[in-house]
Structure 1
């Protein structure tokens, strides 16, 4: 079997595991942040911290062993926009708050019958493509040209400084993740976080090691859900004129994994919008996530886990901006969200 086909099948497997894990545990940065800011007990944010710890450690080991050259990833490009990254991150975070979850969570919810998530994903994918290659692309490129920085180092330097930084961060994140709370599904949430952290590492291995081919190398990447959602919509429309990609098979796998897990657990049910106002909010949230994710080069998973696992400075900027945007959305509407929007 050609290596590219192996990459695609492996991407499907990674997506299936992510979908099952997301459906069972409700893994979601937005949900964890809401728990933390509202003072509610729970382990969703702890699970995300553990996922980042595992992704950091695993990515460092994989890169150190030469199994995947993460310096070729989009997060390690030699320049980035000091304006578009934070603006895009804030837009994505705010949109995440409006739609009550990120693109990855929307895929999981769609798999279990949530039609609100279908609208979010369509808006996200179209908005991302408009920004990346559509009518808004020239403006994005124009702004980028005047706001681009080319620092001497785009990530924490190699050698002892990098190793020390990785293991200090891994220890701190693990200690935070294991702090006891008064309530919450501790074992389930933390296990989910550990698995998703391993999936980030698996993504690097699939594209960087399994996909290593001198004649047809796969672009090195791991979990992210902005451009791949747009790619999946695009592929669904013009499959005969477009090749499958790792990100597309991951998206398909997440949907399938969530669907099968929901059916087996008796959690599959069709849900729709409760009011026109709610629909408007979710459309706006999806569109903001699409535009913001394109500008910030990733989402809460793509930058918050995959990007940060490379210790790239651009990922630190984007991830922080995403949290700031989510906080702004939460502060604007701190009350309870619509019923069922974040259910597992």
Structure 2
């Protein structure tokens, strides 16, 4: 069935919601099987402790960049009206938000997408952190924290359009962006070989990146054939988590959109992947200190993600794939903030002493 016929049959809102659900399911499967997580990659990088998680992240990142730029060069996708490029942006928000999000990843021992994936596998720590993350994101958007977010965002702003488009600013064009992605793919292959990465990990990481590009493509194509305004967008978990929270708390009959389909799709996909891999397991907190740490990290990520305009996936992969300047600043801030927190909070010590701090949330820790 052609896309136009599908939209006519289901309606614009239903069609784009189903697209979000479907892409979310595959994202959840790929992320669960590959253990995709920016936090894990950052810890490996700063601690110089292996490169397997870094390779997975690089496969996702490079696949997103290559596929997105390829779609643009073929004329199938136009991201000029995407929020990350068209709207007025905040350089100060991107930097401060990225730093806070990076610190939060270390405290909560997982980025926002990883928490969502692990919550579906039975990890109660990730579930609590994810709920607090959603509350903090909503409070930063329209609630108690919104004045602070608005104030920081106003420190240093940038106009939308070519000013936020790195490819236009550097006169590289989309072919240049495609080549850039291929360079990082080569780096991913290099690290994967060094780490003897399993097939499911590099394939899963690549699948995560392809879902980012596919989301850009599908929302654009649906938007061009709809009478209603359907924004061109990709994967992110800050705004969608806040949207899902409000959907649950609001009276029935609220409008559906891509984000509303995305979050339950990721949960379902991750659950199915864990069920197939026999990895479903209830896990909780061991002490009050750990709970406080997770809660603080979730608040930092919720506020930081909303301030930065996206999470580790929303800014770090989706926004970076279209070369939005603020997204790249946020991504750099996340790496720096996480690196600083790794050194100051978790300390760089032998693995036997800091296994729990260095391991991704929900991962089994070998006892010495």
TM-score by shorter chain over 0.5: yes
Structure 1 gaps of 5+ residues are none
* 2-structure distance, mates of 1:83, 1:289: 16
Match of 2:118 among 109, 114, 136: 109
Q: CA deviation at 1:182?
A: 4.4
* Superposed counterparts of 1:89-108, under 5 Å: 89-108=98-117
Whether 2:186 is the aligned partner of 1:175: answer yes
The alignment's TM-score, normalised by the length of structure 2, stands at: 0.88
Q: CA deviation at 1:146?
A: 4.3
Range 240-249 or range 331-340, more displaced: 331-340
* Superposed counterparts of 1:133-148, under 5 Å: 133-148=142-157
Q: Is the 8 A contact 1:111 1:258 kept in 2?
A: yes
* 2-structure distance, mates of 1:261, 1:78: 37
Q: Give the count of matched residue pairs.
A: 344
Give the corresponding residue for 1:217.
Answer: 229
Q: Mark the CA change 1:239 to 1:111 in structure 2 (over 3 Å): closer, same or farther.
A: farther
Q: CA deviation at 1:214?
A: 4.4
Q: Is the 8 A contact 1:42 1:185 kept in 2?
A: no
Give the corresponding residue for 2:297.
Answer: 285
Give the corresponding residue for 1:19.
Answer: 28
Whether 2:207 is the aligned partner of 1:195: answer yes
* 2-structure distance, mates of 1:282, 1:293: 16
Q: CA deviation at 1:73?
A: 1.4
* 2-structure distance, mates of 1:42, 1:214: 44
* 2-structure distance, mates of 1:183, 1:195: 19
* 2-structure distance, mates of 1:25, 1:141: 37
Q: Is the 8 A contact 2:28 2:265 kept in 1?
A: yes
Give the corresponding residue for 1:309.
Answer: 321
Q: CA deviation at 1:174?
A: 1.2
The alignment's TM-score, normalised by the length of structure 1, stands at: 0.93
Q: CA deviation at 1:260?
A: 1.6
Q: Is the 8 A contact 1:156 1:162 kept in 2?
A: no
Give the corresponding residue for 2:363.
Answer: 343
* Superposed counterparts of 1:252-263, under 5 Å: 252-263=264-275
* 2-structure distance, mates of 1:267, 1:184: 22
Range 50-59 or range 98-107, more displaced: 50-59
Give the corresponding residue for 1:229.
Answer: 241
Match of 2:91 among 82, 107, 111: 82
Match of 2:136 among 127, 130, 149: 127
Give the corresponding residue for 2:276.
Answer: 264
* 1-structure distance, mates of 2:78, 2:337: 31
Give the corresponding residue for 2:68.
Answer: 59
Q: Mark the CA change 1:7 to 1:93 in structure 2 (over 3 Å): closer, same or farther.
A: same
Match of 1:154 among 141, 152, 164: 164
* 2-structure distance, mates of 1:300, 1:156: 19
Superposed CA RMSD: 2.1
**Other structure's SS at 1:179 match:** helix
Structure 2 gaps of 5+ residues are 1-9, 348-353
